[in-house]
Every structure is written in structure tokens, then in C-alpha cells.
Structure 1
Amino acid sequence: MAAASPLTPHASLPRSKQSCSVAVVGAGAAGLAAARELLREGHTPVVFEQGSQPGGIWMYDERTDADPLGERDTRRRAHSSMYRGLRTNLPRELMGFGDFPFTPAGMAAAGAASADARRFPSHGEVLAYLRAFAARHDLERHVRFGARVTRAAPVWSSSSGQQEGNGVGTASDACGDGEPVVAGCGPRWAVTFEVEAEGGRVEQQQQLPWKVVPFPQFELQARLVARVLSGRAALPSRSAMAAEMDKFYAGLREAGVPPKWTHMMDVRQWEYNNWLITQAGCPQPLPAWRGDMYAATGRNKRAHPDDYRDHWDDTSSLEEAQEELAALVEGLRGSQEQGPAGSISSDADAANGTPAAISVCT
């Protein structure tokens, strides 16, 4: 039996204490991960996506923006930031979600076709993977396409009149009693309170981390949020978080790290990801091969910037990755045979032969 994946929730946690209706902004990689984790935890997500299909920035569009300066509200907007020949700058073994390997075998096991088997594939392959992930977990039925989110504010409740509390307002619809969880939505925002900024560091506001492996991190962040909402996990107190932030900033100053690099995680992402795993109650830290492969890719990229995508030397970590991902693929094949693509396995499945690597908390 395969060992449990560290990206798989811990099965010994108590069942959810409460269920929430949650608004998620965007059906890209982060939004899809959020929807999946919310569903796992028994919540009801509503994903607002301005486009007509899932995939976020990975949807390639040859058109250009008709008004790059944004002077006309009626201008044609080019949503995608992809370009025709773009390939990933991370190996696919690192990029996938926890129990759905981003490999040709993983996609085939889920009933999807891979059109680009390279380790550093094209943007089209990433889009195909995200759509396969959405299809496998039946996520599109929770997405409202063509809904552009313009503000978040209290709104009327359809059942109890006017009330204080949370809400999400959009250009096309509103969700009255939902818990607003912003996942994805890109590095753009409007604020109505004072924000202190020093160099590239933004305080009292959210900021996207950079130099990370994004998809698995999205998944871990979403899992913790989903469990906090259900009552199965708790965040540190405000005072504890403030003290930790002060300690973190002091450490950066002592190390001579300039403010503009505050949100650069790089090697720090593994400690952060393992903290997310621990806070969510998951069983074990990430395996060492992930950090080793990420570091080896960085070294190769700096040494061979023109062809690092096609020539590499990370044999040891690649072999470990292939062993772990192959076990996950076998689990996908087994669950595909046992039930519909959107089904979720449990500890009972592991006892009956389904690898524990894809079991979920119950």
C-alpha cells in the first residue's frame, strides 16, 4: 500500500462542525483548488469567473487589448497573459495538485488526453490539466461563468432582509450570506483603508508570494481556509500573527534582505507549506524531493538559461518523484473504475485496496 501523501488531509480529524456558503473569485488554478477543498470540507462554494471556461491565465488568446491604456470602459479586454510559444519554467512533477499528478499517465488515468509530454510543457498542456482537474471533481457546476467581480460589500439577504455581515457583490449577481474567500484574482486590488508600503513590501494587505511552486501551495492554503471555516482548524490569534510578522521583518533586516524581496519565498516556501500542512491537521511534511527538484531546476536555469527545459540533471529527485506519482496514478485508476470522476474516496477505500495516497479526511 502506498504511503499517504503529505498533500492529503489527515483521516483522524473529527468531522466538520459547520458548513458555509463561500464565494470564490476566479476559476483559475487557485479558484479550482479552493472549490475542491471547500467541497471536501462540506461547504458550498460559488465560483465567480469572468470568462466562459475554467483555466484563468492559462487560457491563451491571440487577440490583443484594443485599448491598452484602459481609457474606454467598452474596450475589448485580452484576459490572457500567455503567449504562443510559452512553456512552463517548472517541471511538471512539481506543478500538480496533491492527488492528481500533472503527468501524461495521471491525466490519462483521469480520462483526459495529454498533448505535450515534455517535462516543461506548453501552456496548452497546463490548461488541459486544469480542465481535467475540474472535470474529475465536477467543479464546473459550482462556477458562474461570465460573472466579473467588481466589489465586495454587505448586501441584502434574500431570506432575512437587511443584515450586517459578509457578502459578495458582482457586476451580474450577488451572494448574500456567503463567506467571501478571495482565491486567485491576480495582483490587482482597490482598497479603502490606509496601506503602508515600503519598497516592494505591502503591509495591512494581501500580496502574492513569488518564486514558489504555485498549484500545490494554492491547494494547501485553500485546505486550511476550508477547515477554519468548518471549525476543524484554527488560525493563530491576531497578537500571535503580529508578533510573528515583527519577528519575520526583523530577521529580514538582520540578513540584509531589501524590502522588495519580502514576498519572495524561494527556499522559505517549504517551511511555509509545511506550516500549512500542520495547521490543517495533515499527517506529514512534504517529501524532500520537492525541495531538491526545485533547487536543481533553479541551478540548471541559471547555468543554462536557453535550454534548461530540455536538458536537466536531477536524476535522484526525479526518480523519487516518479515513484510517488506512479503510486498516485494507480490510485486514480482504481477510483476511476470504482466510481464517477467526481467521487471522493475515504479510509474505507484504502482498506479495500485503494492506495492511501488519495484517501481524504472523513
Structure 2
Amino acid sequence: MIIQAAFRPPFSSARRTACTSALNRSGAKSQLVDRSRRLFDEDFVPTLSSRGGRRELLRNEGVSDRKPSILVRFKGVDEMTREEDGRSGAAEIKRVLVIGAGAAGLAAAVELAREGHDVVVYEKSSEIGGVWNYTPDADSDPLSIDPQRKRVHSSMYASLRTNLPRELMGFLDFPFLAKEGRDKRRYPGYEEVNSYLRDFAEHHDLLSLIEFGVEVENVRLKKAGNGNSASESRDLKWIVRSNRFGKFNHEPQTKEDVFDAVVICNGHYAEPKLINIPGVESWPGFQMHSHNYRVPESFQDKIIVIIGNANSGGDISKELAEVAKEVHVCGRRWPETAQIKQQGNIWLHPLVERACEDGTVKFQDGKSTRADVILHCTGYLYSFPFLDTEGVVTVKDGRIDPLYKHVFVPAFGPTLSFVGLPQKIVPFPLFQAQSKWISKLLSGKVKLPSESTMMSDLKQFYDELEANGITTYNTHTMFKRDQFVYCDWILEQCGAQPLDSWREAIYFSAHANKGTSTNYRDDWKDQDLLDTATKSLVELSERLSLQVK
């Protein structure tokens, strides 16, 4: 398989015709394309050439227009893994464990149950929602580096609102529409997202599948055949040891069980990532990671240095500026429109060069400031401390290896999978697409390529990443439009319809608005796109007999 110029994956003519016909029937194609083009300058225009979209690479997003962005390659339909003959046969029923009852785990549970699998979900906490569950509690170590610390899963701060509009965030067959008596904002707070997930779980009767207060301690392979290759994956089973924390248990009860397959949905916003700052071990101030940030009051009149200018760094810096004396935000890269200068009591800087014993923090541009606090908004690490594959799967420098299409370990076929690893995405629809693929593979309606083919594909993927200057840490990052191509490809493997084209158009309009407006959550310029999406989602809700208020 060869990646093509401007990252156009090779799809069959029949597939292209079907996509184009569907979009033409909707009558929305030309309107959405024209609207997208009006929202961007000429260097920032995605081109929608079919429903579900084949896209032109955005030239000013940090990757040259001569390079594919994330380089996720896809097979053409003539190389598809779908087994048409298998569709008419009886589905295989598997006993499947889903680890985690956050959004990814809920999506996996629904799709597995739809395929008739025997599903159980282990959730460590007492609630669904995962990272969307706010708690005022935080890790006992503010930097979250002490291995013996009291751990808190959620990274939610009290003021958090989504950075994507609600019409994009919802699952594909359960629209995230505003409801009376709840947060009706287009970019709602975390409580509304958590309420939506509860609605989703209750609608699909998922609570009956979830065992709360169960922490997975170990997942290991139980070999029933002569090997552990994907070709023998029908014989593979997994032994899972868990600790159960009941209401009246002084000590957790340990249990072992065996499953045909394990789907890992434990999220990747609980294990903070820190960057090295020379001299910080002698710096006398207070350090913490944004994982443990909740409210701004304790930072009154402080001088704060924030490391990182992505979503959390941007939100938290603006909130802290209301109470702090000074806020200094450091970023590896700044948009061309953002000059490195003072904005009120917020200063923008390049990265920190070093921290000094006298309390000073020096920046790479030669400037410095005395600081009381260094707040690390530096992202998170993938972590699966319970997974024991005897060295088959490794996690290093942000890469889970080997992983076919960010989901499957080639040696284990569909019996071990991950949902929700890609970053910089619209999460819930992608979770659902991945879960649908996993479910159909386990039921035998879809087949993976051979282990050797998947490993060859993965090697080519890594080679292309390196050749195009994309770091190992960004192996699972999807830059802008790649997620839409990725989701469409997965949905195609399952025989499902591609994403509606308004999704990509709104994604890019929201991204453009975010780059030019400090109040992007409440002031937008794509009302016509929002109207198109809302009409589509309301009609879908009515067809599915979902309650719309």
C-alpha cells in the first residue's frame, strides 16, 4: 500500500460513487463546501469531495502540504478485510470484558451487546463517565510522580467547558441535543457531558452490564493452542485478576476470571506527563500538574508560570488571571497571530530555559520572572499497568507498539483491543466506530489481515512517520482531518455509512473560530452549519424515537 499525494486513501470507484450519490441526495454538499471555504483564508481550506469526505491537506497546520499529516494508511475496497461470506453465517458469541465505564467503555459495551456478545464492564469507581466525573479531590502528590500517592482518576477542573460543539460530540446514533432544565450551551460544561453519558447508558440499559468498585490488577494471556498468533486467535483467552471494593469490605476481594476478549478503555488523562526543567529541583516555589488543578482561589495574588499553551493551558491561564498577580504562559509553538507579548496580566513566552534557586524562572528568549508557582499543563502518558503480554506490547515515548490502526495487537488478533487512544480528535464518534469494528471482528462478520500483513503495514507506517518528521510521541495523534478519513474507513469495514459531511465542516469552522476569538465558545460565525446539523440530529432522534425536549 502506498500513501498518495495530499493523503487521499485509495477507495474504489464504487465506493466514491456511493459516497457522492449519498451527499448529492442530501443536497448539502455544495452549501457545506462553500461555507467551509468562506470560513478560512486561502491557506486554510478543507475540500470536501464526497460525503464522509476526501480532504485536501491544510497547509499551515505545522505539516507541509507536500506531506501527509498523520499518515494513517488504508486499504482500498479490493483489499478490504470484510468477509462477505461470513455475513450470512451465524455470529460467534464471545465473553468479553470491557475495562472502564467512561465514554469509550460505554460505546464498546453498546456495540458488543448489539452483536450479541456476553459483555461485562469493570469500573473502578462508583460512577460511569470516567474523566467527565468531576471531584474536588486530587492526587496527594500535586505533581503526581510519587508511585505511592493517593490517585484520583479525573483531571476535570470546576470551570471546564468542552472545546468542541455539542453537535459534534455526541455518539452517532444518540445525538447530544440540548434539553430543558440543563446546560443548553453549544459548548457545555462537564456536568452536561456527564448527564449525556448517563442518558446514553440508561437508554441502552448499560448499568446492568457494569460492575462498579472493581479495579483490574492483571490481564494476561491464557494460551489454549500451540501459539499466540492472530491466525490462532480463536483459541486465545485472557485471565483477568481484579480487586473488588464493596461497601462493607475492609479489604478488597480478589477474583480471577477468564474472557475470550478484553477491550481496554481506561482512558489516557490520568497519568500526567512532565517536561524536564533544568534547576527545578533547587527552585523554592510550588509545582503542580494541571491534572490536580480544580479551582483558582488558592492562587490569589501569586505569580504563576504555566508550562503549555494547549487547551488546558489556555483555559486555566485565563481563569487564573482573574485572581493571580501575574500569569506567564510558555509554549513550544505559538500561532502566527499571537505575538509573544503581554495581554493584560498574562505574558506569553517561549519555553522555560531553567529555574533558579532564588525563585527566578528564565525563558528561552532571555527574559525572566520571579515566580511562586509552576503549573505543568503538559499532557498525559498512556498507562496500562495491569497489562502483561510478556513483552509483546510496549508503551514508550507515547507509542503503544505494535498496534494495528491504533486498535489491535497483531499477535492477538481481535481478542485484545484498545478504544480511544487517538488524540486531537472528536472522541465519542471515533470511540463508537472503533467499538463497532471490534464487535464485528469478534462475531466473525469481519476479518483482520494476517499477522504478517498487519506488522508490515505498521512498519511502513512508522517509516513514513519518521521520514516526515513526526515524532514517536505523536504516533497516535490525528492532525485535523485524518480522524474523519479514519472513522470513514473503519465504518466502511463494518458496512456502515460514512460520517455526515457537516461534521467535518463544523469541526474546521470551530477550529478557525477558536484561533481568532478568545470567546469562541459563545461567539461563532457558522450558525448556518449549526442549523444544518441540528436539523439532521433532530430528525435522527425522531427516527430513533429518542426523547427531544
One fold, TM greater than 0.5? yes
From 234, 241, 246, give the equivalent of 1:169: 241
1:183 to 246, 250, 265: 265
> In the alignment, what sits opposite 1:252?
465
Q: Is residue 17 from structure 1 mapped to residue 91 from structure 2 by the alignment?
A: yes
2:216 is aligned with 1:149: yes
- 1:156/1:140 CA distance change after superposition, 3 Å: farther
Q: In structure 2, how many angstroms separate the alpha carbons of the residues matched to 1:336 and 1:16?
A: 34
For the structure 1 residues 136 and 323, does the alpha-carbon distance in structure 2 shift closer, same or farther, using more than 3 Å as the test? same
Partner AA of 1:181 in structure 2: V
Match of 2:186 among 112, 116, 119: 119
Matched, 1:58 2:141: no
Q: Which has the larger radius of gyration?
A: 2
**Identity among equivalent pairs (%):** 39
Match of 2:519 among 279, 298, 307: 307
- Distance in 2 between the 1:28 and 1:140 partners? 12
SS at match of 1:148: strand
* Distance in 2 of aligned mates of 1:137 and 1:237: 34
Q: Is 2:224 aligned against 1:224?
A: no
Contact 2:223 2:237 in 1 (8 A): no
Let me know the Cα RMSD of the aligned residues. 3.1
TM-score relative to the length of structure 2: 0.52
1:297 counterpart residue number: 510
Q: Which runs of 4+ in 1 moved over 6 A?
A: 194-198
Q: Label 1:184 to 1:331 Cα distance change in 2 as closer, same or farther (>3 A).
A: farther
Higher relative contact order (CA 8 A, sep 6+): 1
Residue among 235, 253, 269 paired with 2:448: 235
Match of 2:67 in 1: none
| Aligned twin of 1:346 | none
- Aligned-pair distance for 1:211? 0.8
Written as runs of structure 1 = structure 2, the 5 A alignment for 1:255-270 is: 255-265=468-478, 266-270=480-484
TM-score normalised by length of structure 1: 0.78
**How far, CA to CA, are the matches of 1:261 and 1:225 in structure 2?**
24
Higher strand share goes to which structure? 2
Aligned partners of 2:402, 2:470: CA distance in 1, in Å?
A: 20
Tell me the distance in 2 between the aligned counterparts of 1:328 and 1:210.
28
Query: Which amino acid letter does the alignment assign opposite residue 168 of structure 1?
Result: V
Q: Is the 8 A contact 1:290 1:317 kept in 2?
A: no
* Equivalent position SS for 1:210: coil
Query: Are residues 42 and 63 of structure 1, via their aligned partners in 2, closer, same or farther at CA, if it must alter by over 3 Å?
Result: same
Residues 26-45 of structure 1 aligned to structure 2 (within 5 Å): 26-45=100-119
**Structure with more of its chain in helix, by fraction:** 1
CA distance in 2, matches of 1:184, 1:212: 17
Asked if structure 1 preserves the Cα contact closer than 8 Å seen for 2:97 and 2:259, the reply is: no
Residues 335, 55 of structure 1: alpha-carbon distance in 2 compared, 3 angstrom cutoff: closer
Counterpart residue type for residue 314 of structure 1? D
How many residue pairs get aligned? The number is 314
Distance, in Å, in 2 between the alignment partners of 1:131 and 1:194 is 36
Kept after mapping to 2: 8 A contact 1:153/1:167: yes
1:182-227 CA distances to partner (integer Å, 9 max, x unpaired)? 1234331236427777864443256821110011100110111011
- Are the structure 2 counterparts of residues 200 and 229 from structure 1 closer, same or farther at C-alpha, using a change threshold of 3 Å? closer
C-alpha displacement at 1:269, in angstroms? Answer: 0.7
